[in-house]
């Protein structure tokens, strides 16, 4: 009687592929990437509106 081989399915994305080229380089040990400036963001209403929300972040892509 043949044993049925059951292959475990693995997601193609399961290996957590790098999201950006920089992350790819860093993941492969080639981490020499340019320094990235830090951006901050804001959103305001209309031209004469006052700031409704504003936040700063170090996460710019």
Partner 1 sequence: MAVINITGIRTADPADIWTPTPYLFASSPFAIVMDVTLDADPPYLDDVFDVTWIMGTPRMDPYTTSWYTALDGNGVLMPTVVFEWKRITWDYRRNGKDFSVYVFMDHYSDAVSQILGDEKYEGIFYVEGTVAALGTPYFAVSDRYWYRAMGDQ
Chain residues that interact with partner 1, rule: CB under 8 A: 21-22, 25, 30-47, 49, 52-53, 60-61
Closest CB to partner 1 among residues 8, 47:
47
Closest CB to partner 1 among residues 10, 32:
32
Structural contact between residues 33 and 24, judged by C-beta atoms closer than 8 angstroms:
no
In the complex, the smallest distance separating the C-beta of residue 35 from partner 1, rounded to whole angstroms, is 5
In the complex, the smallest distance separating the C-beta of residue 8 from partner 1, rounded to whole angstroms, is 34
For residues 38 and 35, give the distance between their C-alpha atoms in angstroms, rounded to a whole number. Answer: 10
DSSP 48: T
DSSP element (H, E) containing 55: strand 51-56
């Amino acid at each position: 009687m043949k044993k049925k081989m059951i292959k475990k399915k693995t997601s193609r994305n399961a290996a957590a592929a790098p999201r950006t080229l920089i992350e790819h380089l860093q993941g492969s040990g080639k981490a020499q990437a340019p320094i990235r400036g830090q951006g901050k963001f804001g959103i305001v209403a209309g031209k004469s509106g006052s700031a409704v929300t504003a936040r700063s972040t170090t996460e710019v892509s």
